[in-house]
């Protein structure tokens, strides 16, 4: 994966916390894969780079998984709930969510057996995902015995597969052959892609506060309703003591949940600034950094050389690139570290003049009174 694609996927992998309602969110980036014989020397504009690959991050139930779209299946994949806001989908049935056009993707986190009618029925697909209740996450029935790493439990679909096809996947040694015997076509899951785990975790933690904030408003409404009910119960002598006790317990639970939600929400505004490079070695105009910190704070990112390097390279300043951005509401921002054209041209001349030549630089992020830095190397 390219540095730019890796950084973009990492900052977008904002996993939903396990304490909130878990629905999947799918983010994709189309990355250049390179073409034989095409280099910067033969094609400085990059117009000849036509090979691409779609790469995804799936965020679900506190988990983040990086995948590439390489199994040849273009539809019937993980559902993308970023197209279905909570208020919009509230009146929808699971069947309507399952077929909603804007939520469809071609991403399969599990192996599948397509073209088998009993497995492609909507009621079969919903059967292992809560049936007529809840939010379905997948537009297929998995054809494997292991978890995809998204908090999914094979026990939920193995019995459904057995009922729909008569095949017990736990005893089958060749699942592809078993699918073919049913008249179906076996497809492996889309392949994994290398996403920096620390970046994903940092972005996911930042996203947790955003999700908790969204959950706090309806929780406050619920608490107010419970308080009104409790007062009514106190005045109504014909209401049983058991009902009043249950209401008090529910109120205490709701208050505790509110306190926990507010603590988690506030934590995003006291986060230290952290800088993570997509790669330690990059071309002069190809650096990418992920900055995490307090939401909405301004941040300045600079790339600097030493005084000796500045004189040797005949540069006007030690600071060869400076970018000013604002940390997003999820607590993270992706920054491209690109000097101006004249500086890039000078750096490329120096790097090209001697085979294997590199230039060491320092990348620094400053926000308020906090800062973080990392060393990097400029290469051809």
Q: Distance between CA atoms of 318 and 349, rounded to whole angstroms?
A: 17
Q: Distance between CA atoms of 359 and 66, rounded to whole angstroms?
A: 32
- Are 366 and 282 found together in one domain? yes
Q: Distance between CA atoms of 137 and 147, rounded to whole angstroms?
A: 14
User: Per-residue pLDDT averaged across 59-66, rounded?
Assistant: 78
**Higher pLDDT among residues 121 and 205, named by residue:** 121
Of 226, 253, 270, the last residue of a domain is 270
Collapse the DSSP code of 379 into the 3-class scheme (helix H, G, I; strand E, B; otherwise coil) and give the result: coil
- Are 9 and 154 found together in one domain? yes
- Are 300 and 260 found together in one domain? no
Question: Domain containing 284 — which CATH number?
Answer: 2.60.40.2550
Query: Is 36 part of a structural domain of the chain?
Result: yes
User: Per-residue pLDDT averaged across 334-357, rounded?
Assistant: 91
- Are 320 and 371 found together in one domain? yes
| Domain extent at residue 297 | 274-378
Percent of the chain with pLDDT over 90: 46
Collapse the DSSP code of 346 into the 3-class scheme (helix H, G, I; strand E, B; otherwise coil) and give the result: helix
Q: Distance between CA atoms of 209 and 296, rounded to whole angstroms?
A: 13
Residue 65 pLDDT greater than 90, yes or no: no
Q: What is the pLDDT of residues 309-325, one digit of tens each?
A: 999 899 999 999 999 99
- Helix boundaries (H) for the chain: 3-12, 86-89, 94-99, 117-120, 122-127, 155-165, 175-181, 197-235, 241-267, 307-313, 341-353
φ, ψ at 63 (rounded to 5°): -110, 150
**Higher pLDDT among residues 357 and 199, named by residue:** 357
- Are 83 and 221 found together in one domain? no
* Beta pairing partners, 363: 303, 374
Query: Is 205 part of a structural domain of the chain?
Result: no
Q: Distance between CA atoms of 291 and 332, rounded to whole angstroms?
A: 6
φ, ψ at 192 (rounded to 5°): -75, 150
Query: Is 198 part of a structural domain of the chain?
Result: no
- Are 10 and 155 found together in one domain? yes
pLDDT classification of 158: cutoffs 50, 70, 90:
very high
- Dump the DSSP string for 89-155: HTT--HHHHHH-GGG--S--SS-EEES-HHHHSHHHHHHTTTTTSS---BSS---SSS--SSS--TH
Query: Is 194 part of a structural domain of the chain?
Result: no
Do residues 182 and 113 lie in contact, with contact meaning Cβ atoms separated by under 8 Å? yes
- Are 245 and 101 found together in one domain? no
Least confident of 147-151, 239-243, 344-348, 358-362: 239-243
- Lookup: tokens for 83: 């197209």
Structure letter (DSSP) for residue 290:
E
Q: What is the pLDDT of residues 187-242, one digit of tens each?
A: 999 887 755 444 455 555 555 566 666 667 788 888 888 888 888 888 887 777 88
Q: Which helix (H) or strand (E) holds 282?
A: strand 281-282
pLDDT classification of 299: cutoffs 50, 70, 90:
very high
User: Per-residue pLDDT averaged across 108-127, rounded?
Assistant: 94
Nearest to residue 275, comparing CAs of 333, 322, 358?
A: 333
pLDDT classification of 288: cutoffs 50, 70, 90:
very high
Do residues 1 and 31 lie in contact, with contact meaning Cβ atoms separated by under 8 Å? yes
115 φ/ψ sector (left φ>0, alpha ψ -120 to 50, else beta): left
Q: What is the pLDDT of residues 8-58, one digit of tens each?
A: 444 444 433 333 347 888 877 777 777 788 887 887 887 887 877 777 788
- Are 12 and 160 found together in one domain? yes
Query: Is 130 part of a structural domain of the chain?
Result: yes
Q: What is the pLDDT of residues 84-115, one digit of tens each?
A: 888 888 888 999 999 999 999 888 999 999 99
Q: Distance between CA atoms of 329 and 283, rounded to whole angstroms?
A: 30
Query: Is 192 part of a structural domain of the chain?
Result: no
Query: Is 199 part of a structural domain of the chain?
Result: no
- Are 283 and 171 found together in one domain? no
Query: Is 352 part of a structural domain of the chain?
Result: yes
Question: Across the chain, what does the average pLDDT equal?
Answer: 83
Quote the pLDDT of residue 207.
59
Q: Which helix (H) or strand (E) holds 324?
A: strand 319-326
- Are 284 and 262 found together in one domain? no
- Are 92 and 155 found together in one domain? yes
- Lookup: tokens for 162: 């057995």
Q: Distance between CA atoms of 74 and 159, rounded to whole angstroms?
A: 27
Of 270, 291, 306, the last residue of a domain is 270
Least confident of 65-79, 271-285, 346-360: 65-79
- Are 218 and 162 found together in one domain? no
| Beta-sheet pairing, 332-337 with 298-304 | unpaired
Count structural domains, the chain: 3
């Amino acid at each position: 994966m390219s540095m730019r694609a890796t950084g973009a996927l990492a900052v977008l992998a904002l996993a939903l916390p396990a304490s909130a309602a878990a629905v999947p969110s799918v983010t994709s980036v189309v990355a250049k894969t390179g073409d034989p014989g095409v280099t910067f020397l033969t094609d400085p504009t990059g117009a000849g780079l036509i090979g691409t690959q779609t790469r995804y991050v799936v965020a679900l139930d506190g988990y983040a998984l990086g995948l590439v779209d390489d199994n040849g299946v273009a539809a019937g994949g993980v559902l993308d709930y970023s197209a279905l806001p909570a208020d919009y989908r509230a009146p929808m049935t699971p069947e309507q969510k399952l077929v909603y056009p804007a939520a469809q993707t071609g991403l399969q986190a599990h192996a599948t057996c397509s073209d088998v009618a009993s497995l492609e029925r909507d009621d079969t697909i919903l059967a292992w995902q809560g049936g007529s209740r809840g939010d379905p996450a997948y537009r297929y029935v998995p054809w494997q015995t292991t978890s995809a790493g998204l908090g999914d439990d094979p026990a939920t679909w193995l019995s459904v597969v057995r009922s729909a096809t008569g095949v017990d996947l736990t005893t089958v040694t060749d699942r592809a052959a078993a699918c073919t015997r049913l008249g179906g076509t076996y497809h492996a899951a889309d392949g994994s892609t290398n996403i920096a785990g620390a970046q994903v975790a940092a972005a996911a933690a930042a996203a947790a506060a955003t999700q908790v904030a969204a959950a706090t408003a309806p929780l406050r409404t619920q608490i107010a309703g419970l308080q009104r009910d409790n007062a009514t119960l106190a005045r109504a002598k014909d209401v049983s003591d058991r009902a009043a006790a249950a209401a008090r317990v529910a109120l205490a639970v709701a208050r505790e949940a509110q306190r926990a939600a507010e603590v988690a929400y506030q934590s995003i505004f006291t986060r230290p600034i952290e800088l993570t490079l997509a790669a330690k070695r990059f071309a002069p105009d190809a650096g990418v950094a992920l900055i995490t910190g307090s939401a909405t704070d301004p941040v300045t990112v600079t790339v600097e050389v030493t005084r000796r390097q500045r004189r040797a390279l005949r540069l006007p300043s030690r600071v060869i690139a400076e970018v000013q951005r604002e940390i997003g509401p999820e607590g993270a921002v992706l920054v491209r570290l690109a000097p101006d054209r004249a500086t890039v041209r000078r750096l490329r001349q120096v790097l090209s003049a001697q085979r294997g030549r590199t230039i060491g630089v320092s990348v620094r992020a400053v926000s308020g009174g906090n800062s973080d830095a990392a060393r990097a190397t400029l290469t051809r």
